[in-house]
Amino acid sequence: MKHTFKILLMGLLAITIVSCSTRKVTRVSPDETIDLSGRWNSTDAKTTAEAMITQALSERWISDFQSTHNSEKPTVIVGFVQNKTHEHIDAEIFIRDLEKAFINSGRVKLVQGGEKREQLRGERADQQDFSSPETIAKWGREVGANFMLQGDMASIVDTYKKEKVIFYKVNLQLTNIETNEVVWLGDKEIKKYVNK
């Protein structure tokens, strides 16, 4: 009986200790740099987006295109950014910032690609059967892209005992769809030292 009571008392004590520990969550600015694990994080995505935006919009590919196309804005479609790193990274986080900068600059047009384009085409197909004739989106009116943005992300991890260095490199390239000419290359490197 005493043994059972001791076990019960120890169990209650353990439950009390666990329930007394609280977790605190604090809201912080998205601009604040917090790096808990050393892995790719929001700060890395943001600095990559900023570097790529600066590079892409300051290079001459836009003015070269406009000089041969009556000052027309170039149209870009985003292709695939391959993740070759050792961890899961969603490239869309920094690609969306780059797309937003293209549009907000007023110098580049952007068309949907991939799954989003297929969703739009599916909606257009549905409209042919279910929408009134005066509101149907017509087939064959899509804007063709002049350039495709593609890229890859790679990483190298070097470890020794409790130390680790992680090197990330993001490469983007813009290719003329008609000629296959690469008109812009951009990259961003990030290196992190982690001491456990």
Helix (H) or strand (E) holding 49: helix 42-58
- Quick: pLDDT tens for 161-186: 999 999 999 999 999 999 999 999 99
Give the pLDDT band of residue 21 (cuts 50, 70, 90).
low
Question: Which residue ranges make up each domain of the chain?
Answer: 39-132+143-195
- Quick: pLDDT tens for 134-160: 999 999 999 999 999 999 999 999 999
The answer regarding whether domain 39-132+143-195 maps to CATH 1.10.540 reads: no
> How far are the Cα atoms of 2, 42, 43, 102 from residue 31, in angstroms, in the given order?
58, 9, 8, 22
Tell me what the mean pLDDT of segment 32-36 comes to.
78
